[in-house]
């Protein structure tokens, strides 16, 4: 049975992340971006804070968010979408990979890049080569 509450929260956080990335790329300061996102989707900053933590998103609000974020109706409800919001383990991996890359010489960077490309090309569940 689909868990719409979880899917909507995960997906609205993905939309929020897109908004933040776009705003920061445009040169906007990070301070106040949560309030700006709340204004974009036409809710109060307090309600946005509640949604981020635990408040369920009803059908009408879900459609409102989708409309203001320019995604198709029902987008927030989809569970099978790979999460666009990295979890804590993924963030730790990215930080470790970034540190390894920055400390590597040119040869080591080629090796890291080659390993990642090789790993990404494998089908899920394939065993690594000996």
Instruction: Encode pLDDT of 71-105 as tens digits.
Output: 999 999 998 766 665 656 767 787 888 888 899 99
| Alpha carbon distance 130, 127 (integer Å) | 9
pLDDT of residue 12: 93
- Angle between the N-to-C axes of helices 4-25 and 33-40, in degrees from 0 to 180, rounded to the nearest 10: 120
pLDDT beneath 50, residues of the chain: 1
Answer whether residue 129 is part of any domain. no
Do 14 and 71 fall into the same domain? yes
Domain with 113 in it: 88-121
Burial class (CB in 10 A: 0-12, 13-18, 19+), 40: middle
Is 31 a domain residue?
A: yes
pTM over 0.85: no
115: left (phi over 0), alpha (psi -120 to 50) or beta: alpha
Task: Tell me what pLDDT residue 85 has.
Answer: 59
pLDDT of residue 44: 97
State whether 100 and 49 are in the same domain: no
pLDDT at 127: 63
């Amino acid at each position: 049975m689909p868990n719409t509450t979880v899917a909507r929260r995960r997906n609205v956080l993905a939309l929020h992340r897109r908004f933040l990335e776009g705003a920061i790329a445009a040169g906007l300061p990070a301070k106040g971006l949560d309030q700006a996102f709340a204004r974009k989707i036409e809710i109060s900053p307090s309600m946005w804070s509640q949604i981020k933590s635990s408040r369920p998103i009803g059908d009408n609000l879900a459609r409102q968010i989708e409309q203001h974020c320019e995604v198709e109706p029902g987008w927030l409800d989809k569970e099978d979408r790979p999460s666009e919001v990295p979890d804590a383990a993924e963030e730790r991996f990215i930080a470790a990979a970034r540190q390894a890359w920055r400390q590597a010489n040119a040869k080591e960077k080629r090796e890291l890049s080659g390993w990642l490309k090789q790993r990404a090309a494998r089908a899920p569940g394939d065993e690594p080569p000996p």
